[in-house]
Amino acid sequence: MTFKGGALIGFFSATWPFATLTVSSDFISIKVFFIEYLFTKDHIYSLDSYSGLFSRGIKLIHDEPGLNMNVIFWSFSSERVLEEARKFGYNTNAAQQDAAANP
């Protein structure tokens, strides 16, 4: 599943629609212009809702070697991105909140 949006990776920022996030069962990739950042599933801890000053997005919590730890994908459909990520077996803060609310 692929989504258009913006991205903040370290100090590098791209606005909508210059970033694309792709979710698959094995990896998540974020492509910004012609650079692709690949995060393998075993290095992704969770995808969390993130609110900036004027926008909403997804913060990728990961330990992928060699990639910046500050990774945010800005999207007009953040909840849908999280929904799709859960379908592929990724942890999301929404799933953690649901589990806490319904023990």
Over residues 20-51, the pLDDT tens digits come to: 999 999 999 999 999 999 999 999 999 999 98
pLDDT over threshold 50, residue 102:
no
Where do the domains of the chain lie? 2-101
The structure tokens listed for 33 are 């212009």
Which stretch of 10-14, 44-48, 72-76, 94-98 has the lowest confidence by average pLDDT?
Answer: 94-98
SS3 16: strand
91: CB partners within 8 A, 6+ apart: 44, 45, 46, 47
- Per CATH, which fold does 2-101 belong to? PH-domain like (2.30.29)
Specify the pLDDT at position 94.
59
Alpha-carbon torsion angle 65, 66, 71, 75, nearest 10: -90
Specify the pLDDT at position 95.
42
pLDDT over threshold 50, residue 14:
yes
